[in-house]
């Protein structure tokens, strides 16, 4: 911005440092962008899961035990994102004047898990689809050259009646999703989607401190600690080990 | 911005209106050149068309009375459900389902779709008081963004320069981060940079605010505002690579085919 004029009507905060610094947590934006981001990612994982299953079917590997386990892990991340989206929408927190915000704890869980999920999913695809992401011709134009086409149709065909063109369309799309410059940029995007890896974890703590949950958890720990002291159990129903201990109570 | 006062309610952009609205003199630079019309530039035209699909889907949803993506506004028009401040579980679930329906149109790859910023804009309907003495602005923007659904994105983070210094601290990076340089009867003047304004080159407005590890310590950096993408002095520099997949990673949502993206890349190499 080089001497950009902003009329008063487009200003929300000006000169109030406290508001400018606390706008992010106090605006209500955070749980709402978490619901949007989680849902958008869940849709993307529907798409990637579909590509992954098709890729393994095309290679004829889908029913191998290890491949099934890896696909199951990818589906688990997908399921987790949809479940967190549901939890955010269906367990809202009361807000100002009868309005509600999406559930903050589910939002915080999505916030931290999503980048790790994305990296894990990419890794699982690379391990599982493996050479199918490499066994590709250079360009769609190859299919227009009869001398090449006969070999591509024979040697690059998929399993179960899938043609070479269909196979290459699929594998190029999957590789574009995870590995090309486009795919790699997307991974960087998802890893840093809404803040650094440290900040998103701190949000979980700061949220618990602000909501009173941290105090409730500490009280829960205190409740356990109140059940014993240096002389043993302080509660009437539990039995001290004096009869079996090598160090009986003096 | 302006709020419709006539009899006909203001409606969301159509895809065609959206594409035409991008030819507004905005200053976007790529490969050493200023783009004339971003909707027709090889690096942006298909992303622009995918966003146009989103806008068209609103009108289809409304026309066919599906109510999956859209709902009525309180001013006679219709909008994407997530642009309305939520009062209940039902509102949130319907908003979430609208988000999902729109995301499916880009196969989940367009993180900064126009409904992303609805996450903020809709809060203005519930939380306008927070912005006092500018709460009237908050309410006006709640209505306008819901009725017209302009494409808004945000620029929150300072550039990764002198990150160890407080914005505005003595000896700090006063010449780099966005800040107020002067104030007039009509408003403020802002100079300086923000980073990672994902998608902004294709928006109508950019929302500018602050998020950072070190709190602001100078009131000239304490600003939250919206600025039109084509406002004089607003410059978008895309630190792009040689290919069509631009700084906005989702730029080439080039899904079902193998070939066209490569053609676009070649044009860029040669162009």
pLDDT for B251? 38
- The better pLDDT of the pair B214, B52 is held by B52
Cα–Cα distance between B260 and B244 in angstroms, integer?
11
Q: What is the pLDDT of residue B160?
A: 82
**In the 8-state DSSP scheme, what is residue B227?**
E
B157 vs A: CB within 8 A: no
Q: Is the dihedral of CA B5, B8, B9, B10 positive or negative?
A: negative
Lowest-confidence segment of A12-26, B38-52, B62-76 by average pLDDT: A12-26
Residues of chain A positioned with their CB less than 8 A from the CB of B120: 27-29, 32-33
Q: Which of these, B262, B247, B265, B250, lies nearest to B29 by C-alpha position?
A: B247
Residue A144 pLDDT class (50, 70, 90 cuts)? very high
pLDDT tier at A62 (50, 70, 90 boundaries)?
Answer: very high
Residues paired with B33 in a beta bridge: B30
CB atoms within 10 A of CB B64: 9
pLDDT of B252 above 60: no
pLDDT > 60? residue A153:
yes
Output the pLDDT for position B174.
Answer: 65
Write down the mean pLDDT value for chain B: 84
Helix (H, G, I), strand (E, B) or coil at A233: strand
Q: Give the pLDDT score at B213.
A: 67
pLDDT band at A121 (very low <50, low <70, confident <90, very high): very high
A45-77 core/surface letters (b: 16 or more CB in 10 A; e: else) = bbbbbebbebbbbbbebbeeeebeebbebbbeb
Answer whether B234 sits within 8 Å of A12, measured CB to CB.
no
A chain contacts of residue B231, beta-carbon cutoff 8 Å: 4-6
Assigned token pair, B1: 């911005």
Residue A44: half-sphere exposure toward Cβ, Cα within 13 Å: 25
pLDDT of residue B165: 76
Q: Which has more confidence, A5 or B161? A: A5
Q: If you average pLDDT over residues A94-105, what whole number do you get? A: 94
Q: Domain spans of chain B?
A: 24-270
Determine the 3-state secondary structure of A30 from DSSP. Answer: helix
Chain centre to alpha carbon of residue A154: 40
User: What number is the average pLDDT over the span A5-34?
Assistant: 90
Asked whether the beta carbons of B138 and A8 are under 8 A apart, the reply is no
Least confident piece of the model among A123-127, B91-95, B165-169? B165-169
- CB A32, CB B122: distance < 8 Å: yes
Cα(A28)–Cα(A30) distance, integer angstroms? 6
Nearest CA to B81 out of A96, A84, A89 is that of: A89
Q: Is B252 on the interface with A (CB under 8 A)?
A: yes
Amino acid A20: pLDDT: 86
Nearest-CA distance B92 → chain A (Å): 5
Residue with tokens 């009509």: B186
pLDDT by residue (tens digit) across B110-165?
Answer: 999 999 999 999 999 999 999 999 999 999 999 999 999 999 999 888 888 887 77
The pLDDT of A166-194, averaged and rounded, is: 95
E strand or H helix that includes residue B208: strand B205-208
Asked whether the predicted pLDDT for residue A17 surpasses 50, the reply is yes
- A56-85: average pLDDT: 98
User: Would you state the structure tokens that stand for residue B118, as one six-digit string?
Assistant: 């609805």
How large a percentage of chain B has pLDDT more than 90? 62
Helix intervals (H) in B28-134 = 45-63, 89-105, 118-121
- Compute the average pLDDT of residues B42-49: 95
Percentage of chain A modeled with pLDDT above 70: 100
Long-range CB contacts (< 8 A, 24+ apart) of B116-119? B116/A33, B116/A36, B116/A37, B116/A40, B116/B153, B117/B145, B117/B152, B117/B153, B117/B154, B117/B207, B118/A32, B118/A36, B118/B80, B118/B82, B118/B83, B118/B145, B119/A29, B119/A32, B119/A33, B119/A35, B119/A36, B119/B82
Q: Chain B contacts of A102, Cβ < 8 Å?
A: 92
| B166 or A92: which leads in pLDDT | A92
- C-alpha B28/C-alpha B102 separation (Å) is 27
B29: contact with A, CB 8 A cutoff: no
Higher pLDDT, A80 or B210: A80
The superfamily (CATH) of domain B24-270 is 4-hydroxybutyryl-coa dehydratase, domain 1 (1.10.3140.10)
Q: Give the confidence band of B268 by pLDDT, cuts at 50, 70, 90.
A: very low
Average pLDDT on A2-11 reads 93
Output B3 or A182, whichever has higher pLDDT.
Answer: A182
**Going by C-beta distance under 8 Å and a sequence separation of 6 or more, which residues neighbour residue B79?**
B12, B58, B70, B71, B72, B73, B146, B147, B149
B3 against B101, higher pLDDT? B101
Give the mean pLDDT of chain A.
95
Pick A99's closest partner by Cβ from B107, B126, B156: B126
Q: Give me the mean pLDDT over the A122-140 stretch.
A: 96
- The C-alpha angle A125, A190, B240, rounded to 5 degrees, equals 105
Handedness of CA A120, A121, A122, A128 (dihedral sign): positive
pLDDT average, residue stretch A140-155: 97
Domain A29-204 CATH superfamily: Butyryl-CoA Dehydrogenase, subunit A, domain 3 (1.20.140.10)
How much is the pLDDT for B249? 35
Q: How confident is the model at residue B257 (pLDDT cuts 50, 70, 90)?
A: very low
Is A10's CB within 8 Å of B226's CB?
yes
| Residues whose CB is less than 8 angstroms from the CB of residue B58 and which lie 6 or more positions away in sequence, other chains included | B12, B69, B70, B78, B79, B80, B149
CA distance linking residue A143 with residue A154, whole number of Å: 12
Mean pLDDT value of segment B85-89:
97
Q: Which residues of A touch B215 (CB under 8 A)?
A: 17, 21
Position A175 pLDDT exceeds 50: yes
Residue of A17, A24, A186 lying closest to B219 (CB–CB): A17
Contact B223 A102 (CB under 8 A): no
Confidence band for B255, pLDDT divided at 50, 70 and 90: very low
Q: Which residue has the higher pLDDT, B268 or B103?
A: B103
Instruction: Read off φ and ψ for residue A228, nearest 5 degrees.
Output: -150, 155
- Interchain contact B189–A (C-beta under 8 A): yes
Give one DSSP letter per residue of B149-177, joined into a string.
---EEEE-BPPSSSTTS-TT-TTS-TTTB
A219-234: pLDDT as tens digits: 999 999 999 999 999 9
């Amino acid at each position: 911005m080089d001497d950009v004029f902003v009329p008063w009507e487009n200003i929300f905060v000006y000169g109030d440092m406290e508001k400018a610094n606390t706008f992010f947590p106090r605006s209500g934006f955070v749980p709402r962008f978490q619901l949007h981001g989680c849902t958008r990612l869940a849709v993307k994982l529907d798409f990637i899961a579909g590509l992954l299953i098709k890729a393994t079917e095309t290679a004829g590997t889908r029913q191998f035990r290890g491949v099934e386990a890896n696909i199951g892990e990818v589906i688990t991340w997908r399921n987790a994102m949809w479940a967190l989206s549901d939890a955010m929408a269906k367990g809202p927190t009361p807000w100002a004047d009868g309005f509600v915000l999406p559930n903050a704890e589910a939002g915080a869980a999505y916030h931290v898990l999503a980048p790790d999920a994305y990296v894990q999913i990419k890794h699982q695809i690379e391990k599982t689809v493996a050479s199918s992401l490499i066994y590709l011709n250079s360009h769609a134009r190859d299919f227009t050259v009869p001398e090449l086409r006969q070999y591509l149709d024979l040697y690059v065909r998929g399993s179960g009646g899938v043609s070479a063109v269909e196979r290459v369309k699929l594998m190029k799309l999957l590789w574009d999703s995870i590995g090309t410059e486009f795919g790699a940029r997307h991974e960087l995007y998802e890893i840093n989607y809404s803040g650094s890896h440290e900040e998103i974890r701190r949000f979980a703590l700061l949220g618990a401190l602000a909501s009173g949950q941290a105090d409730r958890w500490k009280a829960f720990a205190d409740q356990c600690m109140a059940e014993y002291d240096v002389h043993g159990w302080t509660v009437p129903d539990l039995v001290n080990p004096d009869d079996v201990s090598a160090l009986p109570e003096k | 911005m302006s709020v419709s006062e006539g009899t006909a309610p203001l409606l969301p952009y159509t895809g065609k209106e959206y594409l035409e609205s991008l030819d507004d003199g905005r200053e976007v630079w790529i490969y050493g050149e200023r783009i004339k019309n971003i909707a027709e530039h090889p690096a942006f035209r298909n992303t622009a068309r995918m966003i146009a699909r989103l806008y068209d889907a609103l009108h289809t949803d409304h026309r066919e009375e599906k109510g999956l993506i859209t709902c009525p506004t309180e001013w006679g028009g219709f909008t994407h459900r997530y642009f309305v401040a939520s009062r209940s579980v039902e509102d949130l679930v319907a908003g979430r389902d609208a988000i999902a329906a729109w995301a499916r149109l880009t196969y989940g790859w367009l993180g900064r779709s126009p409904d992303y910023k609805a996450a903020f804009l809709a809060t203005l309907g519930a939380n306008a008081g927070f912005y006092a003495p500018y709460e009237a602005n908050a309410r006006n923007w709640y209505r306008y963004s819901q009725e017209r659904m302009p494409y808004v994105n945000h620029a929150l983070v300072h550039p990764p320069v002198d990150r160890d210094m407080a914005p505005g601290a003595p000896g700090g990076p006063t010449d780099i981060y966005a800040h107020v340089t002067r104030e007039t009867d009509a408003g403020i003047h802002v100079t300086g940079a923000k980073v990672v304004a994902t998608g902004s080159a294709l928006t109508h407005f950019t929302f500018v605010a602050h998020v950072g590890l070190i709190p602001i310590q100078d009131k000239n950096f304490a600003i939250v505002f919206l600025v039109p993408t084509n406002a004089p002095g607003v410059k978008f520099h895309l630190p792009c690579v040689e290919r069509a997949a631009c700084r906005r990673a989702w730029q080439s949502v080039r899904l079902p085919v193998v070939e066209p993206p490569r053609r676009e890349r070649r044009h860029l190499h040669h162009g």
